[in-house]
Structure 1
């Protein structure tokens, strides 16, 4: 029997995810290069890059509640129109216009990712849930296989018209696939208490900060995302300082590792509601080793840069689906959508801090020192991941 997570309705959602995130795979390279060409500091570049997920972070909890009330498909169709408008701003504006477009994209991504993930979670049986989440996340990373190289090939005053064509094509194709997608319009999980949206979110937040499982998962995701954000934003600039270093090759290797690891290990990802400390500790050690490799690449050479890409890819491939799947089991069903929204918001905050704070640190030290600090953060999370006893299934 065909696994439900691989059935046609879900495959169409994965294709939509791939198309939607293709723009970001190119923009993650174009924006830093554009900023550097205009003489912007690392801090300024970090602000523009960080505006995207900083906005996403702020809107995610509300997105979870809106989707719970109106259903994912209605929300999806509206935000695809807004996203198309944001993409059309990039070819015709400068760095300031990029910041506005990033904010609009941040709002869209908050609703897009929540709509798809909650739709997948609600529709899949428990045994297939981790595979569905992993495949969604896999397709969000797949554009990293080709996006950076396409962006580098488009970079240059005589080739940016290709960038314009690419943004228009992504806007149109994403809208076309999104409007034909089908998801359950009504949530299949228990309904939340009938209170105001803001009241509900703040009550959920007050409960989740007392939830030990949520706090630990969120802290791990926050710190790991700081490292991921520092890599995404500054590798296009750092790789140019390393002999034989190539940003496109690094990002392609990292994304390729994510894709292969997700495909190879998708059935191994725990989906039983228990805390698997050995998995999380191993991921944090991979993250630490990856950041150390990046830090040492300036003196040791490009081999260490590319080794860091592979290690970082494994960490990215495994951490998010493991933690998200775990939380779908242990969070209270009535508040789960909103609380998962807050958890994903912590990941967004981490990526934003990786751009904003680490850009400031890089301005005052160096990229190598910044990645050394990232390694220290990853090592500290081993202590957070450690668990001597099995936690209870519900709080």
Structure 2
């Protein structure tokens, strides 16, 4: 095998799988533990959201620091921080969970940027979309067994939780320390004073750069929907007659993995804006959220149908928008601007818990997911563009 499926890249994908396996468990354990301790949906949303809110804040600097020091040096340091965060979960309560989520957020900002920048720089343009899709695919594979494992841990006792978190921390650190990446092939070499725009000017590009603006808005709003699903499905499923959060999350993750692998060559990798393709993905997102919303009266069929449709939408949206931006963003500050874009995805997932938690508190989970469906329809319209080609 060659290109994005060669052995050096497969090692990186396996590292991604190990790293994100902890979060697949925590996304179920934290809401259940929070509810058992009497926490409101708002509090649970804040704790869950603290992870990616912190990630969002640090991503732009991560891109700049990685470009200066290289992905491997950064990766080895950040795996130590991640290991400490995972162990912290095992010795604290909800207050400690908040601190651990923030530490995890910092490490994830640097980890994911290091891996994605390394993959983008090392692969030729025609293979970029495959590399990004496979990275995303392996980050979702833990979601297949993670939720079921989390429910088993919850029913069996939190002693098992301690063992699993420590095992993941040690295994990820040992495996990650031996990882290798090629140096970027097309990154311009320059010092900090010559390295494109400053960080503050880079933030302004979220509005001034039309390509970054459009992709960031789409990613932000769709991630709000993804975040609301991840945060509150474990609690919403308890209200359904035949609903099971573990099966829902496993089915959604299986769909993401299957769709990312089978559709990886169909994700556009030509620098063109494919309106119909992206609008279709956004419409799937809206239908998926509405299926989850009506499942409170419609039953398990709509609940699990929503999982499949949501999985397909997740499999398509992120790699499509990320690959497009690698073509249209200026190379001199591409890493920083990509960091800003990915930060919008993190912010959206965080807001999915922070904003939608109070809505669920004051109304219901079903109504909150209907709001998510309306957001999906809005993004379907926003994705339309008469221009077929964007030139950077």
TM-score between both structures, scaled by the size of structure 1: 0.97
Number of positions where the alignment pairs a residue of Structure 1 with one of Structure 2: 392
CA distance in 2, matches of 1:284, 1:207: 24
CA distance in 1, matches of 2:278, 2:316: 9
Are residue 367 (structure 1) and residue 341 (structure 2) matched? Answer: no
CA distance in 2, matches of 1:119, 1:264: 23
Unaligned runs of 5+ in 2: none
CA distance in 2, matches of 1:180, 1:393: 39
2:354 to 353, 356, 362: 356
Are residue 15 (structure 1) and residue 14 (structure 2) matched? Answer: yes
1:218 corresponds to which residue? Answer: 216
Query: What's the secondary structure of 2:246's corresponding residue?
Result: helix
Relative distance call for 1:374 and 1:18 in structure 2 (3 A) is: same
CA distance in 2, matches of 1:186, 1:340: 15
1:66 corresponds to which residue? Answer: 65
1:386 corresponds to which residue? Answer: 384
Are residue 190 (structure 1) and residue 200 (structure 2) matched? Answer: no
Are residue 272 (structure 1) and residue 270 (structure 2) matched? Answer: yes
Quote how far apart the aligned CAs of 1:207 are. Answer: 3.3
Please report the RMSD computed on the Cα atoms of aligned residues, expressed in angstroms: 1.4
Quote how far apart the aligned CAs of 1:392 are. Answer: 3.1
1:155 corresponds to which residue? Answer: 154
Relative distance call for 1:187 and 1:115 in structure 2 (3 A) is: farther
| Larger displacement relative to structure 2 (184-193 or 295-304) | 184-193
- Does the Cα contact within 8 Å between 1:71 and 1:184 map onto a contact in 2? no
Unaligned runs of 5+ in 1: none
Quote how far apart the aligned CAs of 1:301 are. Answer: 0.6
Q: How does 1:101-180 map to 2 (within 5 A)?
A: 101-156=100-155, 158-180=156-178
2:319 to 318, 321, 333: 321
Quote how far apart the aligned CAs of 1:209 are. Answer: 2.0
- Does the Cα contact within 8 Å between 2:11 and 2:179 map onto a contact in 1? yes
- Does the Cα contact within 8 Å between 1:130 and 1:269 map onto a contact in 2? yes
Quote how far apart the aligned CAs of 1:188 are. Answer: 3.8
Quote how far apart the aligned CAs of 1:184 are. Answer: 2.6
1:205 corresponds to which residue? Answer: 203
CA distance in 1, matches of 2:77, 2:350: 25
- Does the Cα contact within 8 Å between 1:4 and 1:124 map onto a contact in 2? yes
CA distance in 2, matches of 1:360, 1:369: 12
TM-score between both structures, scaled by the size of structure 2: 0.98
Quote how far apart the aligned CAs of 1:382 are. Answer: 1.3
2:44 corresponds to which residue? Answer: 45
Q: Deviations over 1:348-373 (max 9, x none)?
A: 01001100000011000000000000
1:5 corresponds to which residue? Answer: 4
CA distance in 2, matches of 1:34, 1:67: 36
Q: Deviations over 1:250-297 (max 9, x none)?
A: 000000000000111011111000001111100011000001001100
